[in-house]
Amino acid sequence: MSQLLHNIGLSCIVLLELASTLQAADPAVLAAEKQRIEVCEHVAPSVVAIFSPGGAGGGSGVLISKDGYALSNFHVTDGAGKFMKCGLNDGVLYDAVIVGLDPSGDVALIKLFGRDDFPHAKLGNSDACQVGDWTFVMGNPFLLATDFQPTVTYGIISGTHRYQFPAAGNILEYTDCIQVDTSINPGNSGGPLFNAAGELIGINGRGSFEKRGRVNSGAGYAISINQIKLFLDHLKSGRIVDHATLGATVSTGSEGQATIEHILENSEAYYRGLRYDDEIVSFGGRPIGSTNQFKNVLGIYPKGWKLPIVYRRGGETKEIWVRLRSLHRLSELTATLQPKPMQPKPGPRPPGKRPNKEPKEGDPEPPQAKGPHGPPPPPEQLKKFYVEKPGFANYYFNEVQQQRVLKALANWGKFDGAKGTWQITGTIGADRKYETKLGDTVAGLVIPELPGKPAEAYVQKYADLTDIQDEPPGTGGLLTALSHLRLLLLRGPKAFTEFYYLGSEPFDGKGEIVDVLVAGLAGAESHWYFSRETGALLGYDFIRGENQDRCEIRIDSMQDLPSQRKFPKTFRVLHGDQPTVIYHIDQLNLETPAA
Amino acid sequence: MKHRFPVNFFGGIWTLLAAGCLILVPNEFARAQSTQEAIAQVTPRMVKIFGAGGIMRLQGYCSGFLVSPQGHIATVWSHVLDEGEVSVVLDSGRKLKAKVVGAEPRLDLAVLKIEGEDLPYFDLDLSADAAAPGSRILAFSNMFNVASGNEPVTVLHGVIAARTKLEGRRGVFDISFPAPVYIVDAITNNSGSLGGVLTTRDGRLLAMIGKELRNAQSNTWVNYALPISELKEPIQEIIAGKYTPVPTKLADTPETSPRHKPLDFGLVMIPDVVARTPAYVEEVAANSVAAQAGIKTDDLILFVNGELIQSCRHLVEVCDKLEDGTMVDIVLRRDGKLETVKLVVPDKAE
């Protein structure tokens, strides 16, 4: 006993000595440590441990809003299904539902339920981070956190604006990503990369693995938060979203220049004048000196965004604005959602045992297994938050967004009784009179004769629905564009075979952020742009078929009609390289009998 | 009792030293004040090297660093250089042809040359002194070929875990280096990182990252780097064009130190005719340690120190790792029964 007490006494002395040594440590070191601990404590509540409903697998995520939106990886939620369980560090397991998916960008948006004050991370600016900056990775590597307390690893940024090719057998492409030596292991996927201030700068999801097995080998990759910001409204649309291509590829020259290697002749880039062997100077406002840099810009934007390209040919430099085309067909994206074969729970391999199969370069961790008897059914109160529809991760959220955006059109008054032909009269430019008639089966435009200018008349019939013409020629199909406006006001989304909320984009590539609705009918599409700030319809594009230049209608001013309705007063029509034409509307007559 | 000097004494010395550096060293390499500053100083001196390989697990790329303003590049002697001419991509993205101008395979060192002048480079005379375990380091390399064109190479952070000799011998590390190497806690040695550098936290050159190295016994990977202090002289001599490689047969290379074979124990095994010839004893030399331990003809050797012996060839590998004077447990099968014998590894020098 006395021996024991003696030992305890000795230990106390040792401890005291240790304590005095600690006190002697550099105050700057202690302050830095204290700050790290504070940042960890501050952000840990936003870190999500994601489990498939059967509990057979999982990954990580991070909350980004107090109403429960959280980011993760596509390859994490892909294995978990439509409903999942999410643990936070308050020890509570919350229910969650899938919202949107970005299969090629490897991003998923989910929504947690059960609170209206979820702790959430502050989004940082990933373009501001520098090689050498300290970072925190938080998440659930090897699914260790049964109490949902996230594991924290700490390291530096090893590279910025990295490009990682799609791994064999899938379409996951990491563009403009952040490379870290901060430990990222299976189970960390989908979790947050924080900067030293605790701001969210990326979503971890990938590593370079070769010979050492599927564990951290010194190079982990995070999808930059700035890329995700550009996709966030798209993800909130409940869609399976796509990335983009220019319709042209570039190659890197030996002097560090990027030149056009191939270009599709039916691409907008070609229509605007870009050709083989042109040197790309900048793209999306960033200087371009290599193929990777070009792909990095391409990879961070959703399809359909309009970007500036500066190119050089024979010493002359020119700027064009080009809309990006879709990278994949919808069938390719939905193919990624097919059920996966059973995979073992991610975790460390037993030591000393060589893997049968070497992991491929950049291969993400395997999707999680379903439970041995299939996943349990979703909770009853959550079922209404999931609506299945082909092409959508969860159509429920698209309907919510459609209703939000369409409120702006309700302000225009009631049009649903005006089922007859619509007659619009006014002037083109300063004084050229015109008359348009829009009906269910035919639309027409008449421009009467003026001294020195012959009369013009254009007709579009809708008997054969697939044959939408460029009427009047050189407008991109203005007549049918106007017919789409009539249909939208008259019958709403039901008038179209396809109608959905797309997400948001800068208006015409450089303007304010607009919400976008898409209406599809008979192989043609119209995209409707609503101001995020005021909700007002700012204009719309009509696309009469694949690879066709758009008919772009921009509403300059609105008027109050005597019938208590609102309608555009002046709008501009733009099409390709054609000069802009201004239309004034003097009168809208909805009462004429059907043609 | 500490000696105390007036503060201005040191101040005066440093001013003099700093002035000396500024005058004498055109490639001024100020000690960085921050990690970012160190990275900004080191990165332009790194190059990406592309050469032979690209099949199986042999990657056709590695890393290197400029050691002269005229374009001398130090890297690790490896298969990537097999064709004598390689492509080098500078930090600026410029792509140039390079030739191997000298090599010292004993030190895993090769020096390449590109055409150039006024290039940013590491002045080897300004390299860091030996770093003790616990020293913080940065590692620069184009591991996994992540960086292409003018993209900066990968930067890792870590700590020197040990300064020790790598015992190069078959079955443990298939590599040898005649001097102590640095072992680091960061995962620095990956595909393509050979020829990269370790620097101190303030950006001074410390070591060249070595090859990928796996310990066959423990199936663990070792992250090691070769001290510049060992490489400096041969690099400078190669640049000066007066280097002659050290003959490979040196007494101090561990590769040449004798290793044990089954015969050293007095064991003659049956002829090794197929890939997995079972380890049957053909004959036991009289008065040998094997005979004294009671091993007999036709015994099948099943385990040595708990390791399952799969073939005659495997037995040779296992004997190779045994140390002089250590106790060995051997499990045999004789007439359908298992027997355990113990023997002491004889001293190889005798």
Which residues in chain B touch residue A354, judged by CB atoms under 8 angstroms apart? 219
| Helix or strand run (H / E) with residue B136 | strand B136-141
**Cα–Cα distance measured from residue B128 to residue A115, given in angstroms and rounded to the nearest whole number:** 56
The secondary structure of residue A496, as a DSSP letter, is S
The secondary structure of residue A46, as a DSSP letter, is G
Contact across the interface for A292 and B219, Cβ inside 8 Å:
no
Q: Is residue A77 part of a domain?
A: yes
**Cα–Cα distance measured from residue A577 to residue A268, given in angstroms and rounded to the nearest whole number:** 11
Catalytic residue among A106, A233, A242, A470: A106
Task: Assess whether A367 and A489 both reside in one domain.
Answer: no
**Cα–Cα distance measured from residue A87 to residue A94, given in angstroms and rounded to the nearest whole number:** 6
Q: Which numeric CATH code is attached to B262-344?
A: 2.30.42.10
- Min mean pLDDT across A2-16, A173-187, A369-383, B323-337 is at A2-16
Specify the number of domains making up chain A.
3
* C-alpha dist (Å) from residue B118 to B16, B113, B150, B226, B335: 27, 14, 18, 27, 77
- Portion 346-365 of A in contact with B at CB < 8 A: 351-352, 354, 361
Tell me the sheet residues that pair with A504.
Answer: A515
Q: Which of A106-120, A463-477, B104-118 has the highest mean pLDDT?
A: A106-120
Task: Assess whether A260 and A216 both reside in one domain.
Answer: no
Which whole number is the average pLDDT over B260-287? 86
Q: Is residue A22 part of a domain?
A: no
Q: Is residue A36 part of a domain?
A: no
* C-alpha dist (Å) from residue A93 to A50, A151, A347, B323: 9, 17, 22, 56
Closest in A161, A210, A352 to B191, CB measured = A210
pLDDT at B253: 43
Task: Assess whether A48 and A176 both reside in one domain.
Answer: yes
Band of residue B18 on the pLDDT scale cut at 50, 70, 90: very low
Which whole number is the average pLDDT over B52-74? 87
Task: Assess whether A75 and A117 both reside in one domain.
Answer: yes
* Residue A217 at interface with chain B, using a CB cutoff of 8 Å: yes
pLDDT in tens, B72-90: 999 999 889 988 889 999 9
Helix or strand or coil: residue B330?
strand
* Residue B156 at interface with chain A, using a CB cutoff of 8 Å: yes
Which residues in chain A touch residue B39, judged by CB atoms under 8 angstroms apart? 131-132
Task: Assess whether A310 and A204 both reside in one domain.
Answer: no
Q: Where are the alpha helices (DSSP H) in A224-344?
A: 225-236, 268-271, 291-299, 330-335
Band of residue B344 on the pLDDT scale cut at 50, 70, 90: confident
CB A432 within 8 A of CB A445: no
Q: What are phi and psi of A430, to 5 degrees?
A: -80, -45
Indicate whether A470 pLDDT > 80. Answer: yes
Vertex B202 angle, CA B199 and B207, to 5°: 15
Residues with Cβ within 8 Å of residue B181, at least 6 apart in sequence: B163, B164, B165, B166, B207, B210, B224, B225, B226, B227
CB A84 within 8 A of CB A368: no
- Min mean pLDDT across A189-203, A298-312, B171-185, B302-316 is at B171-185
Task: Assess whether A478 and A462 both reside in one domain.
Answer: yes
Helix or strand or coil: residue A499?
strand
Helix or strand or coil: residue A297?
helix
Closest in B39, B92, B221 to A256, CB measured = B92
Which whole number is the average pLDDT over A182-200? 96
Vertex A423 angle, CA A420 and A429, to 5°: 160
Q: What are phi and psi of A538, to 5 degrees?
A: -95, -20
Indicate whether A123 pLDDT > 80. Answer: yes
Indicate whether A131 pLDDT > 90. Answer: yes
Tell me the sheet residues that pair with B136.
Answer: B159
Band of residue A556 on the pLDDT scale cut at 50, 70, 90: very high
Contact across the interface for A156 and B94, Cβ inside 8 Å:
no
Work out whether the CA dihedral B273, B275, B278, B280 comes out positive or negative. positive
pLDDT at B36: 92
Catalytic residue among A126, A189, A237, A267: A189
Contact across the interface for A289 and B149, Cβ inside 8 Å:
yes
**Cα–Cα distance measured from residue A298 to residue A275, given in angstroms and rounded to the nearest whole number:** 18
Band of residue A381 on the pLDDT scale cut at 50, 70, 90: confident
Indicate whether B39 pLDDT > 60. Answer: yes
**Cα–Cα distance measured from residue A437 to residue B69, given in angstroms and rounded to the nearest whole number:** 77
Active site residue A75: yes
Residue spans per domain, chain B: 29-254, 262-344
CB A519 within 8 A of CB A525: yes
Torsion of CA B321, B324, B327, B333, to 10 degrees: 50
pLDDT in tens, A58-67: 899 999 999 9
pLDDT at A466: 65
CB A243 within 8 A of CB A302: yes
- B260: which 2 tokens? 């044990």
Band of residue A355 on the pLDDT scale cut at 50, 70, 90: very low
Q: Is residue A158 part of a domain?
A: yes
Helix or strand or coil: residue A151?
strand
**Cα–Cα distance measured from residue A174 to residue A339, given in angstroms and rounded to the nearest whole number:** 23
Q: Is residue A374 part of a domain?
A: yes
Number of C-beta neighbours around residue A77 at 10 A: 27
Residues with Cβ within 8 Å of residue A510, at least 6 apart in sequence: A306, A308
Chain A residue with CA closest to B59: the answer is A210
Torsion of CA A81, A83, A85, A88, to 10 degrees: 110
Band of residue B4 on the pLDDT scale cut at 50, 70, 90: very low
Indicate whether B26 pLDDT > 50. Answer: no
- Mean pLDDT score across all residues of chain A: 87
A131 vs chain B: nearest CA distance in angstroms? 7
Residues with Cβ within 8 Å of residue B257, at least 6 apart in sequence: B169
Closest CA to A303 of A387, A397, A230, A221: A230
pLDDT at B22: 38
A105 vs chain B: nearest CA distance in angstroms? 18
Half-sphere exposure of A242 (CA within 13 A, CB side): 19
How would DSSP label each residue in B193-228?
A: -TT-EEEETTS-EEEEE---EEETTTTEEE-EEEEH
pLDDT at A451: 83
Which residues in chain B touch residue A361, judged by CB atoms under 8 angstroms apart? 144
Tell me the sheet residues that pair with A438.
Answer: A422, A443
- Portion 137-196 of A in contact with B at CB < 8 A: 155-159, 161-164, 179, 181
* Residue B253 at interface with chain A, using a CB cutoff of 8 Å: no
Pairing of β A220-224 and β B85-90: unpaired
Task: Assess whether A250 and A280 both reside in one domain.
Answer: yes
Task: Assess whether A264 and A177 both reside in one domain.
Answer: no
Task: Assess whether A299 and A438 both reside in one domain.
Answer: no
- Min mean pLDDT across A328-332, A555-559, B110-114, B118-122 is at A328-332
* Residue B87 at interface with chain A, using a CB cutoff of 8 Å: no
Residues with Cβ within 8 Å of residue A386, at least 6 apart in sequence: A82, A83, A97, A98, A378, A394, A396
Helix or strand or coil: residue A29?
helix
CATH code at A61? Answer: 2.40.10.120
pLDDT at A12: 45
- B22: which 2 tokens? 């500024």
CATH code at A287? Answer: 2.30.42.10
Contact across the interface for A131 and B146, Cβ inside 8 Å:
no
Substitution target from A29, A130, A162, A208 for chain B, most B beta carbons within 10 A: A208
- Portion 118-137 of A in contact with B at CB < 8 A: 130-133
- Min mean pLDDT across A82-86, A254-258, A261-265, B182-186 is at A254-258
CATH code at A436? Answer: 2.50.20
Q: Which domain holds residue A254?
A: 244-326
CB A164 within 8 A of CB A173: yes
| Helix or strand run (H / E) with residue A75 | helix A74-80
pLDDT in tens, B91-143: 988 899 999 999 988 888 999 999 999 999 999 999 998 899 999 999 999 99
* Residue B214 at interface with chain A, using a CB cutoff of 8 Å: yes
**Cα–Cα distance measured from residue A339 to residue A72, given in angstroms and rounded to the nearest whole number:** 19
Which whole number is the average pLDDT over B180-194? 94
Task: Assess whether A202 and A288 both reside in one domain.
Answer: no
pLDDT at A52: 86
Q: Where are the alpha helices (DSSP H) in B25-92?
A: 35-42
**Cα–Cα distance measured from residue B302 to residue A191, given in angstroms and rounded to the nearest whole number:** 49
Closest in A159, A179, A256 to B149, CB measured = A256
CB B255 within 8 A of CB B169: yes
pLDDT in tens, A230-244: 999 999 999 999 999
Residues with Cβ within 8 Å of residue A298, at least 6 apart in sequence: A175, A243, A244, A245, A246, A283, A324
Indicate whether A357 pLDDT > 70. Answer: no
**Cα–Cα distance measured from residue B267 to residue A172, given in angstroms and rounded to the nearest whole number:** 57
Band of residue A226 on the pLDDT scale cut at 50, 70, 90: very high
Q: Is residue A392 part of a domain?
A: no
Task: Assess whether A585 and A490 both reside in one domain.
Answer: yes
Which whole number is the average pLDDT over A4-16? 48
- Min mean pLDDT across A225-239, A323-337, B207-221, B267-281 is at A323-337
More confident residue, B259 or B72: B72
Q: Is residue A332 part of a domain?
A: no
Q: Model pTM?
A: 0.80
Identical fold between B29-254 and B262-344: no
pLDDT at A253: 79
pLDDT at B286: 87
Closest in B143, B150, B155 to A289, CB measured = B150
Q: Which numeric CATH code is attached to B29-254?
A: 2.40.10.120
* Residue B218 at interface with chain A, using a CB cutoff of 8 Å: yes
pLDDT in tens, B213-258: 887 777 788 899 999 999 999 999 999 988 877 654 444 444 444 6
Helix or strand or coil: residue A390?
coil
Number of C-beta neighbours around residue A413 at 10 A: 14
Work out whether the CA dihedral A145, A149, A153, A158 comes out positive or negative. positive
pLDDT at A369: 44
**Cα–Cα distance measured from residue A209 to residue A359, given in angstroms and rounded to the nearest whole number:** 7
**Cα–Cα distance measured from residue A487 to residue A528, given in angstroms and rounded to the nearest whole number:** 13
Q: Is residue A267 part of a domain?
A: yes
Q: Please return the burial class of B229, using the count of CB atoms within 10 Å of its CB with bins 0-12, 13-18 and 19+.
A: middle
